[in-house]
Amino acid sequence: MGSDLPLEAETEVKDGLQTPTYPSYATQHGSGLSTASFGHRLVIACLSDPVASSIGPTQEAGTAYFNISGTQYLLSNTGLMLGIAFAPMALNPLSELLGRVKTFGISMSIYTLLFIPQTLTKSYAGFVISRLLIGVFGSVASSMIAGTLVDMYGSKTRGRAMNAFTLSIFIGQGVGPAIAAHIAEKTDYRWVWGYQGIASAVGLAWYLSVAKETRPSLPPVEFDDGSHAVSKRWRHLLDAISVSISRPFVYLTTEPIVIALSLWVGFAWGVIFLFASSVFVVFGSYGFSVSECSLFLIPVAIGGCLASVASLHQDHIYSRASRRASPAKAAPEARLHHPCVGGVMLAAGLWFYAWTARPSIHWIVPGIALVIVNAGTFSIYLGVYSYLSDAYEHFSSSANASQSFVRNVLGAVFPLFARRLYQALGPPQAGSIVAAFATILAAVPFLLVRYGAVLRARSRATSEIQALLKS
């Protein structure tokens, strides 16, 4: 997209690479992209995003349609989630070359078109391949939102924007599967994917009609000999891809903070996908149909909404810490007050759910437990992102890519054993195993509040950050 603004580039160091930024460009055009980004997110959140979590509610219909086993059907979701986990590391740097709008438009156009073969194919292999590619191209747009928020908002206002984006995800994960289950039960199974593709197309058209660029593509730069054979922007892109792929895995093996938070948020995220399958076992014992059982996924959205409002208090806590630390920055641990509570809520809610989800106890009771679980998960999700962004500063993209990778891998694995676990052991015993892991991991934010500063001081990554800041 063109601009009538003279662009004056500043330089920021992002993941160790010097990258030009255009603050005047973002200021001039940010509101349009903000409206488009969040409008697009909220429109398709309940419709298109649940392409992953709709597998659990449609398992019976899908296995009958393709004449395959339940495990085979669930494996189609494993491929999609692995695509979401791996693809952003290699493809996200394209926004540096093409700009946000072009990258988003291209990836989401391919994503939307891939719903056609997913909807129409009668081949299980074609279904699996379509979902894998949907995961690859859909992941780019979702993961790029964080970079867009950096373009548009300062650190003091970015939190609420991230809150809104996170809320759209939870709304989608809660409401979308319920819609999918009703469609699969009442109409043709293929319309589960057909309506999601239509919703994505509508959202994409809206986005492209109003979106304005916040990060223009990098201009080609000639070498002194006038050669156009190799552009500096392509060299920069290759460097960015190399860093984007390698550094997250380095952090997952060398950075205790990243390892602990990735396991914690990964487990919490996996629980959402575990519920997307297990609620049909638990509430099926009450005599509910598949579509009725799917309504018990709506607490994902309700819990997200409640935690989203409560997180405004976390913003107040951080603002107060910032004022006290001025002129220095507040410690990243100031971001962890609500996540500490969220970890306790996740564990307590899981224990509550495990021992109340039985026909002798009214269904509203385990339903309330699910709201508590998902309110805690929302606080964890938002808190981990904010903490890693503050703690790793210029390397925050890699740190958050690490936790995103673990989240999506566990989201791919949990549904594979969810129903079997609950059917084999029964809801109380199976739920207790899940709750026990949540109880252990609930210690993570408390330990970081106590020892986070020490770990950051010993971290090789944060030492590199300080060296970059001084250079």
pLDDT single digits (tens) 198-242:
988 888 888 777 766 665 555 554 444 445 545 666 676 677 778
Is the link from the previous residue into 327 a cis peptide, with omega within 30 of 0?
A: yes
Res 37: pLDDT: 54
Residue 37 structure tokens: 């980004």
Which segment of 128-132, 324-328, 371-375 scores lowest on mean pLDDT? 324-328
Does the pLDDT of residue 4 top 80, yes or no?
Answer: no
13 DSSP 8-state letter: E
Tokens at 64, concatenated: 């009958």
CA-wise closest residue to 402 among 239, 236, 254, 241 = 254
CA nearest neighbour of 321 among 335, 300, 311: 335
Tokens of 100: 């946000």
| H runs (alpha helix) in 211-336 | 232-254, 256-282, 290-294, 299-325
Contact 439, 369 (CB under 8 A): no
Which residue's entry shows tokens 């989608």?
172
How far is the CA of 71 from the CAs of 93, 183, 422, 431, in angstroms?
A: 35, 22, 15, 21
- CA–CA separation, 39 and 36 (whole Å): 5
| 213 and 37 Cβ atoms separated by less than 8 Å | no
Q: Which two three-digit tokens encode residue 267?
A: 């487990």
Cα–Cα dist 348/346, whole Å: 6
Tokens 């005599």 -> residue:
287
Between 410 and 398, whose confidence is greater? Answer: 410
Band of pLDDT at residue 17, cut at 50, 70 and 90: very low
Strand pairing category for 10-14 and 17-21: antiparallel
Mean pLDDT of 171-175: 88
Higher pLDDT, 96 or 204: 204
CATH topology of domain 11-470: Growth Hormone; Chain: A; (1.20.1250)
Range in 44-48, 126-130, 252-256 the model is least confident about: 44-48
pLDDT tens digits along 265-297: 999 999 999 998 889 999 999 999 999 999 999
pLDDT for residue 42 is more than 60: no
The residue that leads in pLDDT, 332 or 92, is 332
Q: What average pLDDT score do residues 254-259 get?
A: 94
- Band of residue 76 on the pLDDT scale cut at 50, 70, 90: very high
Instruction: Tell me which of 225 and 259 has the higher pLDDT.
Output: 259
Average model confidence (pLDDT) for the chain? 82
Predicted local confidence at residue 74, as pLDDT: 92
Coil, strand or helix at 58: coil
Structure tokens at 274: 């575990």
Higher pLDDT, 376 or 171: 376
Per-residue confidence (pLDDT) for residue 410, from 0 to 100: 94
The segment with the largest mean pLDDT, out of 78-87, 140-149, 313-322, 442-451, is: 442-451
Q: Which of 23-37, 172-186, 199-213 has the lowest mean pLDDT?
A: 23-37
**pLDDT in the model for residue 191:** 93
Q: What's the pLDDT score for residue 401?
A: 87
Helix axes 337-356, 364-392, angle to 10 degrees: 150
Nearest CA to 281 among 383, 429, 180, 153? 429
Percentage of the chain beyond pLDDT 70 is: 78
Q: What is the pLDDT of residue 5?
A: 31
pLDDT above 90 covers a percentage of the chain that reads: 46
Nearest of 19, 16, 40, 264 to residue 145 by alpha carbon:
40
3-state secondary structure 334-382: HHHHHHHHHHHHHHHHHHHHHHHCCCCCCCHHHHHHHHHHHHHHHHHHH
The per-residue pLDDT for range 301-323, each reduced to its tens digit, is 999 999 999 999 998 898 899 88
By residue count, the chain amounts to 471
Question: How confident is the model over 187-196, as pLDDT tens digits?
Answer: 899 999 998 8
Buried/exposed code over 282-315 (b: 16+ C-beta within 10 A; e: otherwise): bbebbebebbbbbbbbbbbbbbbbbbbeebeebb
> Which residues, in sequence order, are CB contacts of 4 under 8 Å at separation 6+?
none
User: Residue 470 pLDDT more than 70?
Assistant: no
pLDDT of residue 261: 97
Q: Which two tokens stand for residue 376?
A: 């805690």
Domain residue limits, the chain: 11-470
